[in-house]
Amino acid sequence: MGKQKKTLETSLDYGEQIQLRETIAKQCKIYKARVNEMVPDDYNSSIMMGDEDTKIKNEILRKIKYEKMKKAKLRNFIRIEREKIL
């Protein structure tokens, strides 16, 4: 059959992985809410652009800011939560 693989001391079991995924999902919701507060629909509106165009621009801006926030902060959050679980 072969050797059984060794599990590392720092590896998470199935229940801990589910718990970590749930905390990551909660943190992503917090990031999304924070970005929605920073960039409302009428953010940086101009008389040169229509209301619909401004909303589209702000929606794109929200998506970009959300992805940047995830990229900048999520890895450190995962590291800290993983240490708490272990």
Statement: the pTM of the whole predicted model exceeds 0.95: no
Does any domain span residue 77? yes
Does any domain span residue 64? yes
Range of the domain at 73: 42-86
Assess whether pLDDT exceeds 70 at residue 2: no
Does any domain span residue 56? yes
Q: What is the Cα–Cα distance from 60 to 62, expressed in whole angstroms?
A: 5
pLDDT at 24: 96
**Which tokens go with 49?**
């652009």
Query: Pick from 47, 44, 68: which is nearest to 56 by CA?
Result: 44
Does any domain span residue 81? yes
Does any domain span residue 14? no
Does any domain span residue 65? yes
CB atoms within 10 A of CB 35: 19
- Quick one: pLDDT band at residue 63, thresholds 50, 70, 90? very high
Q: What angle do CA 52, 39, 54 make, to 5 degrees?
A: 15
- State how many domains the chain has: 1
- Quick one: pLDDT band at residue 11, thresholds 50, 70, 90? confident
User: Which residues contact residue 32 at a Cβ distance below 8 angstroms, ignoring those fewer than 6 apart?
Assistant: 66
**Which tokens go with 67?**
């992805």
The mean pLDDT value for 62-76 works out to: 97
Does any domain span residue 28? no
Does any domain span residue 48? yes
